[in-house]
Structure 1
Amino acid sequence: ALERDTQLCTSLINGESSLRDVLTVLDERGKASKAMFDAIQGHHHRLRTLVGEGESAQSEWRAAVEDAGELRRYAQAAAEISTRQWTQQGIDWCAAFAVDFFHGGGKERLLRKEAKRLSLSELQTTACSESRSAPIELLDVGSCGSLFNGVPGLVPTALDLCPSEGSDTVYKSDFLSLEVVPMGSDQVVVPHPHHPAGELQCLPAASFDAVVMSLVLSYLPSPPLRAAMV
């Protein structure tokens, strides 16, 4: 742990911190990390216990996620996880893949491959070429924070069961209960007393180019719910 913290290591070498001080810091970090992972694992265990795989899975799910206090504790731990390097690397990969696909020729390559598979003699790529400069509408499902904000080329819409405290760009929404309305309709957001961005109640069909479900499917406790989400 000390090797990964250059600032703490330098402080020890320069005599600015004693070995006891450094060990105390590392011990506190270890306890905080354990509490964070215990909160996440405990929440997952609770969901698996309360939600089965039968026909009542949807209603059991809705009942299981009504505990606001439990969701806030999980959201706080998830927000901490999102600051870890491996999490950011995953977000960076998702963003880079989306940008390359829509702006870097990935979409055209896929269409050519599909045309070849279908033995088509011609492929219209004009629309693809014209769309290379268009912003990529990205739906981030299960986002504890605004992880894709500021990424060039992306226009993210983030939603979560319980957005992290103070987040004013992440909508509160249960994706499994989110209504999909006809294409061209307006999305509906209503005020929420605890989440500044509001509660997202519906989205128009075909309104996004890409959907990110980072660590979301593993959150759902049963195969029927995972199937319903995708």
Structure 2
Amino acid sequence: MATEEHKELAYYIKEVHASLRKSSSKIGFHRAWLEHCENEDVLKKYAKCMERLATVHWDNNCLDKSHVVSRIQWSADFCYNYYINEQYVKFREKEIDISNKIDINIDSIEQFTLPLKLLDVGSCYNPFKNYEYLDVLAIDLCPANNSVYQCDFLNVGIDKEIIIENHRINQLEENSYDIVTFCFLLEYIPNSELRIEACVRAYNLLKLGGILIINTPDSKHVGANSRLMKCWRYTLACLGFSRIKYEKFKHMHCLVFRKSLHKDIAKRWTLLCKEPNIEYGLFIPQDFLSDKEENQTNPDKTSIHVTNSANITEYFVELPFNNN
């Protein structure tokens, strides 16, 4: 059962997300995001709350290993299997087979060296730092410690080299990362357009065959938000990503998308498999809540559940899994 501190931390995080969504609907998402990035007091408190929630409460609640999955360990294990155990080879072979069928040329294939270059976006406190096979660049709007660099991922420059000044990332190097991670990031970003922009940026930063790992919270059963996950797959395929792994756990979705060797390989899936009700967009359940539903909470804040007509549920207090 969640402690009072756990509830308060989770409630604050949920309120920051809700406030940013409301501001976006009133003044536009670009202006709302820029104003949010300038609010140092909110950002600093958010960073402290998230670090403590992740490292203290989710860790301490991780008692039943048979029902609890760490988003960080899941992501790190997939990276190990994909690269070091060479699972990427089967995806390459599949893509080359598809390229032959649709008559396109593959000019180059995956190239990587150890340690693997990982860009952890929205890192907060750099939870991937202890994995020896990963060379981590951890970035966040407001870092929780000095191992994380300050960076607004949605507005940072992307070009031929990385530029760092005073522990701030002013430019990231294109086509240079083996892995980009969005671990509980997309639900922070206030609307679909900005989430898509984040994924476009990840695409531009990844090497060919590189992977984008997305973890997003959801305490509903696997079918409740399945349509949203199908929209994610369709949208990312339009951008040039092929989904190569998906698992729904009790409190989250874990997804991996591969930067295809050619965009048309990923886009082929959209032509063959698109369903009539699938839309272009990276939607989350909170996008469909009214202001009244967004504000609805239990008096003691023990369960921040707000549900719309489609029975879409809020999250965060209920996340008991280990974040480390």
- Corresponding residue pairs, total: 185
In structure 2, the residue matched to 1:44 is 17
On the 8 A contact 2:23/2:29 being kept in 1, the answer is: no
2:34 is aligned with what amino acid?
R
Which region of structure 1 is more displaced relative to structure 2, 56-65 or 138-147?
56-65
Per-residue CA deviation, residues 23-69 of structure 1 (Å, 9 max, x unaligned), is xxxxxx72211210111111111101111398x42222101221111
Mapped to 1, the partners of 2:93 and 2:20 lie a distance apart of 44
Q: Residue 227 of structure 1: SS of its match in structure 2?
A: helix
Do the aligned partners of residues 88 and 145 (structure 1) sit closer, same or farther apart at CA in structure 2, a change above 3 Å counting?
farther
On the 8 A contact 1:138/1:154 being kept in 2, the answer is: yes
TM-score (ref. length: structure 2):
0.53
Does residue 66 (structure 1) correspond to residue 28 (structure 2)? The answer is no
Does residue 188 (structure 1) correspond to residue 163 (structure 2)? The answer is yes
Mapped to 1, the partners of 2:33 and 2:7 lie a distance apart of 27
- Equivalent residues in 2 for 1:129-148 (5 A)? 131=112, 134-148=114-128
TM-score (ref. length: structure 1):
0.73
Instruction: Report how far residue 190 of structure 1 moved.
Output: 1.7
Per-residue CA deviation, residues 46-93 of structure 1 (Å, 9 max, x unaligned), is 101111398x42222101221111111111111022222469711011
On the 8 A contact 2:29/2:190 being kept in 1, the answer is: no
Mapped to 1, the partners of 2:100 and 2:168 lie a distance apart of 47
In structure 1, the residue matched to 2:87 is 106
% identical aligned pairs: 25
On the 8 A contact 1:53/1:223 being kept in 2, the answer is: no
CA RMSD, 1 decimal: 2.4
On the 8 A contact 2:121/2:140 being kept in 1, the answer is: yes
2:150 is aligned with what amino acid?
K
In structure 1, the residue matched to 2:249 is none
2:77 is aligned with what amino acid?
A
Q: Residue 189 of structure 1: SS of its match in structure 2?
A: strand
On the 8 A contact 2:119/2:180 being kept in 1, the answer is: yes
Structure 1 gap ranges (5+): 2-28, 192-197
Does residue 155 (structure 1) correspond to residue 135 (structure 2)? The answer is yes
1:211 is aligned with what amino acid?
V
Mapped to 2, the partners of 1:140 and 1:53 lie a distance apart of 30
In structure 2, the residue matched to 1:206 is 175
Mapped to 2, the partners of 1:109 and 1:53 lie a distance apart of 47
1:158 is aligned with what amino acid?
A
Richer in strand (by share): 2
Mapped to 1, the partners of 2:193 and 2:168 lie a distance apart of 25
Query: Higher relative contact order by CA 8 Å / sep ≥ 6: 1 or 2?
Result: 2
Mapped to 2, the partners of 1:134 and 1:42 lie a distance apart of 40
In structure 2, the residue matched to 1:20 is none
Mapped to 2, the partners of 1:223 and 1:52 lie a distance apart of 12
Structure showing greater radius of gyration is 1
Richer in helix (by share): 1
Which region of structure 1 is more displaced relative to structure 2, 79-88 or 91-100?
79-88
